Amino acid sequence: MEEQEELFEHHRLVCDPGQEPYRIDKFLMDRLPNVTRNKVQQGIKDGFVKVNGQEVKPNYKVHPGDDIIVELPEPPRDTEVVPENIPLNIVYEDEHLLVVNKEAGMVVHPAYNNWTGTLVNALTYHFQQLPTMEGNDGRPGLVHRIDKDTSGLLVIAKTEKAMNSLAKQFFDHSIERTYYALVWGVPEEEEGTIDVHLGRSEKDRRVTVAIEDASRGRNAITHYKLLRDLRYVSLIQCNLETGRTHQIRAHMKYLGHPLFNDATYGGDKVLKGTQFSKYKAFVDNAFKLMPRQALHAKSLGFIHPATRKFIQFDSELPEDFKAVIEKWDNYVQYE
């Protein structure tokens, strides 16, 4: 008798009570990191995905309460985080929490292709016994995150009480988060609200796209305001009501104004202005000055878990951000 291959549980998902019928391959693609549709479908065909204990086909439609388990032949990666002596820019700290100003280029937590050198590796070196949210193994202290090449403020929980309080505030959308973004072009309306669902692109799972069909994707709301009109680009203030992956980057592209030098969303080429070689050379130099998407998490406000008082933190724009704004400002003044 052939010995059955041992399988290890990697993911377990339980459908919400309000879950609408949705193909399981698409359902898993929306919720699992670093997977393609082909990979999901093959895994379903190979019997690695079970719903309520039973194997299903890729066209199976999930229902409320479905218990979905993804099992694979190899064991999940050890979630133990290796402490690393990486300096942290701490702008506030007490016994309950801390607020850090993350520099661009630092990944927030260990994940595929980035198992070391992250903010979490640094946190576990400087702080012992940080709490971990349920289902968030390997990410002690984290209640939210920002992208690798986005700079700015993050709040870190130091106690279970603080984590639960902050997590509920994020869930209730009561946290005040302000971002500054440099985008291509100038919005027609000086301020407004983008209320369009977001979901992962079927062509590239690393990309978030706007989905006008409200029955798909997840609701996402961004409030924006024009701060500076620099003719070819503009400085925009964005306030998040929800916190979806790449929300500002995807919403601003949907509005027709991708972030300056955002390679993932098409902002790393000339999108506004002339095609003259002199102008192109200027833009290339601006790209070199800020070799990342122009996005900074500028301020953060929330109810303190212990004192129950509202506290708010603000941060300066990083040097590369200030330099690229100054460069554009000089260009439109003296061209």
Secondary structure (DSSP) of 246-293:
THHHHHHHHTT-PBTT-GGGT-SS--SS---HHHHHHHHHHHHHS-S-
Radius of gyration of the chain (CA): 22
Residue 85 to residue 105: CA distance in whole angstroms: 17
Q: Are 10 and 73 in contact (CB under 8 A)?
A: no
Structure tokens at 276: 């003259």
Q: What is the DSSP string of 210-238?
A: EE--TTSSB--EEEEEEEEEETTEEEEEE
Mean predicted lDDT score pLDDT of the chain = 88
Tens of pLDDT, residue by residue over 257-294, are 999 999 999 999 999 998 889 999 999 999 999 999 99
Q: Residues 90-140: pLDDT tens digits? A: 999 999 999 999 999 998 887 756 678 899 999 999 998 898 876 666 788
What tokens appear for 291 in the block? 């070799």
Q: Which candidate, 120, 117, 148, places its Cα nearest to that of 132? A: 120
* pLDDT (average), residues 54-82: 79
* Active site residues per annotation: 147
Mind listing the pLDDT tens digit for each residue in 186-211?
Answer: 999 999 999 999 987 877 767 899 99
Taking the C-alpha atoms of residue 72 and residue 62, their distance in angstroms, rounded to an integer, is 20
Q: Please state, for a pLDDT cut of 90, what percent of the chain lies above it.
A: 62
* pLDDT bracket for residue 234 (50, 70, 90): very high
Task: Identify the residue whose tokens are 């192109």.
Answer: 280
Higher pLDDT: 334 or 89? It is 89
DSSP state of 151: E
Query: pTM (2 decimals)?
Result: 0.77
User: 267, 283 in Cβ contact below 8 A?
Assistant: no
- Say if residue 180's pLDDT is above 70: yes
Longest dimension (CA), the chain: 82
For residue 169, give Cα distances in angstroms to 4, 123, 165, 196.
Answer: 46, 22, 6, 22
Does residue 33 surpass a pLDDT of 70?
Answer: no
DSSP letters along 183-211, please? Answer: EES--SSSEEEEE-EEEE-SS-TT-EEEE
Task: Give how far Cα 278 sits from Cα of 150, 275, 331, Å.
Answer: 29, 8, 12
Contact status, residue 27 vs residue 62, Cβ threshold 8 Å: yes
Q: Which residue has the higher pLDDT, 124 or 213?
A: 124
Residue 4 has pLDDT above 60, yes or no: no
